[in-house]
Amino acid sequence: MAVFQRSEPMFNVPPVVMATVGVLLFVHGVRMLLFDEAQDVEFLLTFAFIPARYDNGVIAGGFPGGVGADVWTFFTYAFIHADLLHIGLNIAWLVPFGAALARRFGAWRYIGFLLVTAAAGAFAHLISHLDAMVPMIGASAAISGAMAAALRFVFQAGGPLGVFRGQGDLAAYRVPASSLAATLRDPRFLIFFGAWIGLNALFGLGTVAIAGAGQDIAWQAHIGGFVAGLLLFNVFDPVPGRRGDARPSR
């Protein structure tokens, strides 16, 4: 029956997205099931993003991992989550937006894009939390970047959410994207962006709480990832733009 065709993207999450979900669950499972409290603290000090790591005067001797961790924690923090609610919410956002991006970019560009937007989110958190000792964890900044990138093409005519969408084929994910300027003027983007900013503001101000006690929402990192996703989309996008659009030569 046509409804069960393998080409239907809605029921065909790209393997690289499923692998991403698997890695997130694996890391969380190892922490919860295999590590004792001391081991988990050591793991967080080594792989979570901690702004104080970049202030040599905060802790004599520095953090575990040394210079290498100064680099890898810009990325590894995104694989760590606080609890099942935290990881569940991130997976719920990752699957639709990550799938759209993976279908368009392919596996390697998708992976590279998520890593870059994760690093952008960490940098935004760093400059807004200088010398903070509290670790930042979670894939939200990278997912925010994927969300921003997806908004560059999902509303286009013939795209996944366009008025003239096709019958579920992958071509819907390969339509030429709108320019950044056009995206920023699109009412659909502005409505989505306004709602997303408002939600982050509620979490950031503590008006809405979804995490446990002592777990703050790193909304600056979310915004850093989102802005990076918007600005860097063209660098990663393999689909030629419309004639007249300013895009990098390939």
Per-residue pLDDT of the chain (250 residues; tens, 9 = 90+): 344 444 444 458 999 999 999 999 999 999 999 999 999 999 999 999 999 998 766 554 578 888 899 999 999 999 999 999 999 999 999 999 999 999 999 999 999 999 999 999 999 999 998 888 889 999 999 999 999 999 999 988 888 876 444 445 678 899 999 999 999 999 999 999 998 888 777 765 543 333 343 456 788 899 999 999 999 999 999 988 655 454 443 4
* CA atoms of 75 and 71, how far apart (whole Å): 8
The sign of the CA dihedral 133, 134, 137, 140 is negative
Q: What is the pLDDT of residue 56?
A: 67
Domains in the chain, ordered, with CATH? 13-236 (1.20.1540.10)
pLDDT given at position 166: 47
> For position 146, what pLDDT does the model report?
97
Note the pTM of the prediction, 2 decimals: 0.85
**Which tokens is 12 given?**
């065909």
- Annotate 163-197 with DSSP letters as a single string: TT--SS-GGGGGSPPPPHHHHHH-HHHHHHHHHHH
> Given this model, what pLDDT does residue 39 score?
95
